[in-house]
Structure 1
């Protein structure tokens, strides 16, 4: 069975997916380290995962040179198998699946790390992921103001106009960050965009764009006195922001906790941290949780 991007969009509901990712029994899932190959013009990734019911494998290409063109920077295919028989159940548009998963996971992290209801949410980046982030944060915080900033002139306005929800396109990144309670960065930047000195004392910063040691969406100062959560422990050795913060003395290598650990902890974890930071490099576990949910949304599984 082929499940294309249009079918993924029709079947999935963002609010429901956020709840599924937040409440999944993660002890059921296993995911080895992903395979990462550097190729001539980008990267090739393989991300396997398993649960008692399903096996999943995502093949991803990331070609930063596609930015600003009609070809997505990130493209992927996802194959879902039966864990009982090994039968191939579906091949899913992995690019669309990744967009939904990444946005929903960013919202899950914010919901569990930011205390209270934010007045202002800022999305940094205007790529393919940005409208999904608008959807995820709108579903999580329906009364909050959402704004977007982009590096390319006019790009933020395009995303804002296309959004079914009111979104403001802001021209001044520093002013926007200083005002925001929650900031979520989704870029492939290799130089810090959001500076730690701009952040409110109790801000939540999500970094979901970079996934290599060369990519950095924020500087090391952002990590000072912050509770740091990662989507997978592999982020500590692969994310440019974390590597720089460790090198600069603002973070210990054993300090970040995983999202899986966060979701199993009791309320009160955040009490001693004036700021929280979530770093995502992509998790095969979250891919499989999303793919399982999508599979069960198909008509034969609806009750």
Structure 2
């Protein structure tokens, strides 16, 4: 079975996908170490995971320079297999699946870490993932104002126009510091190698999602952001691959022993906002979440 991008968009609904990610019994999953190869102007990653019902493998390339040519940064394919027989169940457009999964996981973390209803949400970055994040946050927090910031304001305006065309209110903002200081939830989806959102701008009680960087060279925020913060990661491998976490430990603002995983947070149903100056979710991409989303999608398509 081939599941293309159009089918994914037709079959998936963000609230239902978030619910599926929240409900999965993650204790049943095994996630081997991902393989990561720097190649040419980008990276090649292999991300396996398996459960008692299915096996999955994502092959993904990340080429940050693509944005200069108007191309998506991420390209991927996903293979889903039966855990009982090993037969291929589906080949899935991994690029589209990754966008849905990443946005859903970012919102899932915010729902569990931010204890109140946000008045203002800021999406930082205008790449292919940005519109998915705006949509996911708009559906989960329909009363919040959503702003988009990009290095090029015209790119932010394009994201906001697409959102408004889908009847989701969003505006483009020109000044990142002002927008950050106002925001209750900030979600960064960039491949920046220098901090964009400074910790001194993030107000007490806010939630900061960092979902773009996945290498030690990438930094979407600075070490100060981690001072007195509750920090949750999508995978323990983030401590090796996330530049922000490594810098915060080096600079004395974070201890590795203090990190929580998304799996442990969900298993405790722990809305931990309010116990720290702010909450931070750091994602480098988890094969576990790919597998949950891939199996959920395959079951939807198979039953239709």
User: How far, CA to CA, are the matches of 1:103 and 1:73 in structure 2?
Assistant: 16
In structure 2, the partner of 1:36 is 36
User: How far, CA to CA, are the matches of 1:267 and 1:72 in structure 2?
Assistant: 35
In structure 2, the partner of 1:170 is 173
User: How far, CA to CA, are the matches of 1:267 and 1:283 in structure 2?
Assistant: 20
In structure 2, the partner of 1:76 is 76
Alignment match of 1:226 (pick from 229, 232, 235): 229
In structure 1, the partner of 2:296 is 293
1:225-272 CA-to-partner distances (Å, cap 9, x unmatched) read: 000000000001110000000000000122111000110114464442
Residue aligned with 1:57, SS: strand
Corresponding position: 1:186 with 2:189 = yes
Give unpaired runs (5+ residues) of structure 1. none
Q: What count of residue pairs does the alignment treat as equivalent?
A: 301
In structure 2, the partner of 1:274 is 277
1:144-197 CA-to-partner distances (Å, cap 9, x unmatched) read: 111100012311001101112110100000000000000000000000000000
* TM superposition shift of 1:71: 2.4
In structure 1, the partner of 2:116 is 116
User: How far, CA to CA, are the matches of 1:241 and 1:53 in structure 2?
Assistant: 35
Residue aligned with 1:76, SS: strand
* TM superposition shift of 1:287: 0.1
Contact between 2:215 and 2:243, CA under 8 Å: does it hold in 1? yes
Residue aligned with 2:19, SS: helix
- The equivalences for 1:140-151 within 5 A come to 140-151=140-151
Residue aligned with 1:75, SS: strand
* TM superposition shift of 1:88: 0.7
Corresponding position: 1:241 with 2:267 = no
User: How far, CA to CA, are the matches of 1:227 and 1:105 in structure 2?
Assistant: 17
- The equivalences for 1:251-270 within 5 A come to 251-267=254-270, 269-270=272-273
User: How far, CA to CA, are the matches of 1:122 and 1:71 in structure 2?
Assistant: 24
User: How far, CA to CA, are the matches of 2:169 and 2:269 in structure 1?
Assistant: 35
User: How far, CA to CA, are the matches of 1:67 and 1:20 in structure 2?
Assistant: 32
User: How far, CA to CA, are the matches of 1:254 and 1:97 in structure 2?
Assistant: 32
In structure 2, the partner of 1:17 is 17
Residue aligned with 1:254, SS: helix
User: How far, CA to CA, are the matches of 2:116 and 2:155 in structure 1?
Assistant: 31
**RMSD value over aligned CA atoms?**
1.0
TM-score by length of 2: 0.97
CA change 1:157–1:269 in 2 (3 A) is closer
User: How far, CA to CA, are the matches of 1:73 and 1:272 in structure 2?
Assistant: 36
User: How far, CA to CA, are the matches of 1:268 and 1:289 in structure 2?
Assistant: 22
Residue aligned with 1:121, SS: strand
- The equivalences for 1:79-118 within 5 A come to 79-118=79-118
* TM superposition shift of 1:121: 0.2
Contact between 2:66 and 2:73, CA under 8 Å: does it hold in 1? yes
Give unpaired runs (5+ residues) of structure 2. none
